[in-house]
Amino acid sequence: MIENLKIRPASVVGPMGERLTLESLPCPNTSRWVCRRKAQVVAAIDGGLLTADEACTRYALSAEELASWQRDYARAGVLALRATRLQEYRDVPRND
């Protein structure tokens, strides 16, 4: 029976060497995802602080988006999580 219990750590080491807890993770209503915040979520999952399903629910992410963060972070670290394409702003009028 004991082997079925999932014991979570109280904290994990973040991507910048900082201590991450559930309270220190990015806010659930985060709308601006900079590479550091993405890396914190990935580190929390890797360390067992959150599951991937919990992260998707908490941050309203698709499984594919989270998987791409994990893949990029594993391949090249924090800088791989930078946005590399232009953002499209719906509210800004275009001068065509």
* Average pLDDT, consecutive stretches of 10 residues, N- to C-terminus, the chain (96 residues): 73 96 96 95 96 97 96 91 56 50
pLDDT of the residue at 10 = 94
Position 71, amino acid: R
pLDDT of the residue at 3 = 60
For the chain, domain boundaries: 34-83
DSSP sequence for 16-83: TS-EE-TTTSPPTT-----HHHHHHHHHHHHHTSS-HHHHHHHHT--HHHHHHHHHHHHHH-GGGGS-
**CA-to-CA dists, residue 38 to 1, 2, 15, 42, 44, angstroms:** 35, 33, 10, 6, 10
